[in-house]
Amino acid sequence: MVESVAKITELIGHSDKSWQDAAQVAVTEAAKTIRGITGVKVRHLTGRVQDGKIVEYKADVEIAFGVER
């Protein structure tokens, strides 16, 4: 039997391009300090509007990674 444990960390990525880019920013930044990222779950997508246009995209994500023994 293979035993494994995963940890989840919640992050919010910001972008002026798109929600997809905001999620990628969160994963890219997390990968700088977290080893072994295995998955991402997008929880919420939000944005900031100015003068009737979306000017900032935000992606609230959960990053999953294995716990090292």
> 13-66, pLDDT tens digit by residue?
999 999 999 999 999 999 999 999 999 999 999 999 999 999 999 999 999 999
Domain containing 19 — which CATH number?
Answer: 3.30.1660.10
Within-domain flag for 14: yes
Q: Which of 69, 58, 1, 3 is nearest to 36 (CA)?
A: 69
- Report the pLDDT value the prediction gives residue 61, as an integer from 0 to 100: 98
Helix (H, G, I), strand (E, B) or coil at 11: strand
Instruction: Say if 32 falls within a structural domain.
Output: yes
Q: Which pLDDT score is estimated for 51?
A: 98
What range does the domain containing 22 cover?
A: 6-66
pLDDT of residue 2: 58
Q: Count structural domains, the chain.
A: 1
The secondary structure element, H or E, covering residue 28 is: helix 19-31
